[in-house]
Amino acid sequence: MEAMRAVQILNPSGEVTMPRPERTRVMCVANQKGGVGKTTTTVNLAVALALHGNRVLVVDLDPQGNASTGLNVPHHTGVPDVYDCLIEGVPLADVAQPVEGIPNLWCVPATIDLAGAEIELVSVVARESRLARAIAAYPGHFDYVFIDCPPSLGLLTVNALVAAQEVLIPIQCEYYALEGLNQLINNINLVRQHLNPRLEVSTILLTMYDRRTRLADAVEQDVRNHFGDKVLQAVIPRNVRVSEAPSYGQSVMTYDPGSRGATSYFEAAQEIAERGVKEPVSRNA
């Protein structure tokens, strides 16, 4: 069974495909709570979609550079990065790097330079829409652009919300999971009113689910009651293979494609892809 799952996930023959959207779906992966699985979700969904026939760009918008690390893309000081695009107006295409071993996947890395951007952006013209402009000007056609946000609601996250049509919120199945979510939703509403009317929360993903605890189950019920069908059926279990993968510069998809972590991210990606062709982005959050 595990071997069969692994073959389906790695898809060496290219036989298994996930439907491609008609237009580029720009998805902002956000939650100002730290450590809820934003980066893990970004990296694994991006790899899963790219392995199944989609062209995908990951924009690392977190000065921690975790998405760049997870995709094994160089991001030491001096590497052209998303900071150069936001502050200096360098085209995204000049800084995007192909992800080794995964055809059809590119990454715009973040270096430590980005740490200054939150403050430097304040005095830049059109400071909220720098990323939106950069993505719109990218000549390559992508099916998906995933933006990995930092754990804050500052100008970097605002840039991601202005650039995206969809917000994907990973929610960790733990106590306090919903605390602070109102603040995120309020910010999304403000951005929709003033800067980006097409923005919607399209997807909620439950992460680090530990089925041994009753708490995880209670959080899942709460989230499903509150967000209804925005919540993906696929739930990501707490799985040690998922947390090991980044130290090998890999996603769990390639690191251990037979693992439960890989299977569940594969299922989540499939659901996202299927929703994208069924219901064009039009609902309100």
Ligand X SMILES: Nc1ncnc2c1ncn2[C@@H]1O[C@H](COP(=O)(O)OP(=O)(O)OP(=O)(O)O)[C@@H](O)[C@H]1O
Q: Contact residues for ligand X (CB under 6 A)?
A: 34-40, 62, 64, 66, 151, 207-208, 236, 238-239, 242-243, 246, 261
Binds 238: which of ligand X, Mg ion, none (CB < 5-8 Å by kind): ligand X
Q: Do the Cβ atoms of 159 and 61 come closer than 8 Å?
A: yes
Shortest distance, position 66 Cβ to Mg ion, whole Å = 5
172 binds Mg ion (CB under 5 A): no
Shortest distance, position 225 Cβ to Mg ion, whole Å = 27
Instruction: Output 20 or 241, the one with its CB closest to ligand X.
Output: 241
Shortest distance, position 212 Cβ to Mg ion, whole Å = 26
Binds 19: which of Mg ion, ligand X, none (CB < 5-8 Å by kind): none
Q: How far apart are CA 185 and CA 240, in angstroms?
A: 31
Instruction: Output 127 or 241, the one with its CB closest to ligand X.
Output: 241
Give me the residue whose beta carbon is nearest to Mg ion: 39
Instruction: Output 93 or 213, the one with its CB closest to ligand X.
Output: 213
Q: How far apart are CA 154 and CA 11, in angstroms?
A: 39
Joined together, the tokens standing for residue 170 give: 């990973």
- Residue whose structure tokens are 């039009």: 282
39 binds Mg ion (CB under 5 A): yes
75 binds Mg ion (CB under 5 A): no
Q: Which of 24, 44, 66, 104 binds Mg ion (CB under 5 A)?
A: 66
Instruction: Output 144 or 192, the one with its CB closest to Mg ion.
Output: 144
Joined together, the tokens standing for residue 129 give: 């829409």
Residues whose CB is less than 8 angstroms from the CB of residue 104 and which lie 6 or more positions away in sequence, other chains included = 50, 53, 54, 55, 56
The HSE-up count of residue 92 (CA atoms within 13 Å, CB side) is 24
Instruction: Output 38 or 52, the one with its CB closest to Mg ion.
Output: 38
Instruction: Output 40 or 203, the one with its CB closest to ligand X.
Output: 40
Q: How far apart are CA 92 and CA 72, in angstroms?
A: 18
Residues whose CB is less than 8 angstroms from the CB of residue 99 and which lie 6 or more positions away in sequence, other chains included = 47, 50, 58, 71, 72, 73, 105, 106, 107
Q: How far apart are CA 139 and CA 144, in angstroms?
A: 14
Residues near Mg ion, by CB under 5 A? 38-39, 66
